[in-house]
Amino acid sequence: MKHSLSASLKANARENLLGRYGLCSLTFILIQLITLGLSFLVETVSDTSNTTGLILFIVITLIMEMFVYIFVIGEASIYLKLACGMEAKISDILNGYKGHPDKIIQLVILVFCKVIIWFVPGIIATVGYLLKGDYLFLALGGLLLIVGTIGGYNVAIDYSQTEFILLDYPELNALQIMKRSKDMMRGNKGSYLYLVFSFIPMYILTALSFGIGMLYVYPYTRMTMTEYYLELADKNRI
């Protein structure tokens, strides 16, 4: 069942990308350039040699990530338009800023907090090891970080559809969008993971091509995940 769904979604994705790979690859390149440019700027002006500078660096980096994620929402709007048979253009990458960027920032903060809270016990135990030198804290910290990784990834899957829901239902607030995503993913995490893992061999080949293959693999993956959202949306109409 999962295999047939995956194959169907990928077939739809390939069809939707015909003649549109240029647009999708360009949006990918633009977002990577924006990310690299901002990262270089932040690292250049930051002083991490002291605690205050390190904290400031972390805060600025998080702000930068939110800024970039608004572009990612614009990118998602391009894929959603193409998947629905609509025309899309490169300027649609700015759709996140034209809509409700404040709501996007709220979503980023809320989801981030729900994910990071899973890592807090492991971080505390690890700090305990650094302060006390007790290997019991180290073992406990390692175990708790493993549990935190599993729990955090589970939360990330719960809210994996928020960007599309935000675009489809702009009248919903951040908490309603998160609830809608969680409801959509209930009972569907297995198919989601199967779909994500099915792309791993392609990304391995991409690494062997020194990243050039990303111009094909990333749009293909992104469009397939967009098709997955539409499949879930059909089964979970509001």
Alpha carbon distance 76, 42 (integer Å): 26
Give the per-residue pLDDT at 196.
Answer: 94
Alpha carbon distance 121, 102 (integer Å): 30
pLDDT confidence band for 2 (50 / 70 / 90): low
- The pTM assigned to this predicted structure is 0.88
The full DSSP string for 148-171 is HHHHHHHHHHHTTTHHHHHHH-TT
Task: Look at residue 33 and tell me whether its pLDDT is greater than 90.
Answer: yes
Q: Please return the burial class of 213, using the count of CB atoms within 10 Å of its CB with bins 0-12, 13-18 and 19+.
A: middle
pLDDT digits (tens, 9 = 90+) for 177-224: 999 999 999 999 999 999 999 999 999 999 888 888 899 999 999 999
Alpha carbon distance 169, 147 (integer Å): 34
Domain boundaries, the chain: 2-235
pLDDT confidence band for 99 (50 / 70 / 90): confident
